[in-house]
Amino acid sequence: VSLTKSQPIAVESTGRSGSKFYQSYDRLFIIKTLISEEVEQMHVLLKEYHPYVVERHGKTLLPQYLAMYRLTVEGAETYLVVIRNIFSSHLNVHVKYDLKGYLSSKPRPLLKHRSSSGLVQGSTVDREASEKEREKDIPTLKDNDLVKDGTKVHIGADAKERFLELLTADVNFLAQMNVMDYSLCLGIHDVERAEQEALERERAEALMEEVDNGTGGSDALPPSDEDEDSAGSGLADAVPTPPDSPGGGRFRNELGIANGLFNPARDIYAIGSLDGSGKKEVYFMALVDVLTHYGVKKRTAQAAKTMKHGAGAEISTVHPEQYAKRFLDFISKAID
């Protein structure tokens, strides 16, 4: 129903592969076009992906691949993959990051101090949002932006341990599959901001209704506390519930986040901020872009970059095991 009731909506992409992205009308699913190398890697990955997900009882942060299609129009073939949306269908994301876990020192020298987030401060064109990207309502920020902003994921020690156990298992699986260049997609829902936005929308709608009815706005009653609670919840009950992720909801219940803000069976990638952390937030975190194989082209790129920048430089193209270690170290430091 999600893909047939209404036409998918095109989503502006910031990726370098040229892939196009679409979102189902109810925001439950993402449709992505695949380039030829990704199609080839998908066939290789799926042979091990399914047994791995079954072995993990569905407790994984890997993309939830649901279907892959080949469309042929006038002899031109296009491959599409349908993926479960990481973000919520009813809670808006206010800040978004694409994190690969490295801070290159090009073209400006690496700054030898630590930011408030505890990570080594650096600078790179590739790993920070461009000026054009920042003009968007919700830009996709990157590693350097997270460090400069001092952003932390405040979920507490217990939730961090469980999350990193999941992430480590998945990253080790990707390393065994000779995959690198993947990212952790991090979306942050600011609860207080969402409540304020909902209140402002409610007031604007009430004012418009008064204007339409010719009643004016001076004597309008303020919204009740009950109304504000209803508006702040942001729940779209009319949205159909997708198939549950095997084990996903159970894991989130173990983290103790079924706090009324969201449905763990629906928002399978959601983790609530720790009480007393200073800010009430909901984090959506999962792995994306897991179809880059470390083959001849990547080995050649690594050799060229190493010769240019030196063996000690942080470069994007490295062996999958080195990429995994660097990635896990960065993400671990970003979580409280």
Q: Please give the positions annotated as active site.
A: 32, 181
The structure tokens listed for 34 are: 């695949």
* Strand intervals (E) in the chain: 9-11, 21-23, 29-34, 65-73, 76-84, 95-99, 140-141, 183-190, 270-272, 281-288
Distance CA 302, CA 314 (A): 11
Q: Which one-letter DSSP state was computed for residue 131? A: H
Closest-CA residue to 123 (of 109, 136, 142):
109
Q: Cα-Cα-Cα-Cα dihedral of 202, 85, 14, 36, to 10°?
A: -150
Closest-CA residue to 234 (of 264, 268, 276, 262):
262
What is the length of the chain? 336
Q: Cα-Cα-Cα-Cα dihedral of 121, 304, 14, 117, to 10°?
A: -10
Distance CA 97, CA 115 (A): 17
Q: How far apart are the first and last CA of the chain?
A: 39
The structure tokens listed for 276 are: 């007393």
For residue 310, what are the contacts with CB-CB under 8 A and spacing of at least 6?
none
